Amino acid sequence: MAHPEHLASTTGTLCAQRERMVKQLILANLGESLEVIELARACALSRSHFSRAFKSTTGLSPREWIRRQRIQRAKVLIAGSELSLTQIGQECGFCDQAHFSHMFSRSEGVNPMTWRHRQLRYRHQLRKMQIATVNFSETVIQFSAS
Residue 64 lies in a domain: no
**CATH number of the domain where residue 85 is located:** 1.10.10.60
Q: Which amino acid is at 59?
A: G
Other residues' Cβ atoms within 10 Å of the Cβ of residue 57: 20
Would you state the pLDDT for residue 130? 74
Would you state the pLDDT for residue 122? 82
Per the structure, the count of domains in the chain is: 2
* pTM (2 d.p.): 0.78
> Residue 129 sits in which domain range?
69-146
In this predicted model, what pLDDT tens digit does every residue of 13-45 receive, in sequence order?
999 999 999 999 999 999 999 999 999 999 999
Indicate whether 144 pLDDT > 70.
Answer: no
Residue 46 lies in a domain: yes
Give yes or no: residues 87 and 55 share one domain: no
- Closest of 100, 92, 101 to residue 33, by C-alpha: 92
Give yes or no: residues 85 and 29 share one domain: no
Give yes or no: residues 53 and 92 share one domain: no
Would you state the pLDDT for residue 54? 98
CA distance 79 to 72: 11
Give yes or no: residues 78 and 29 share one domain: no
Indicate whether 88 pLDDT > 90.
Answer: yes
The mean pLDDT value of the chain amounts to 88
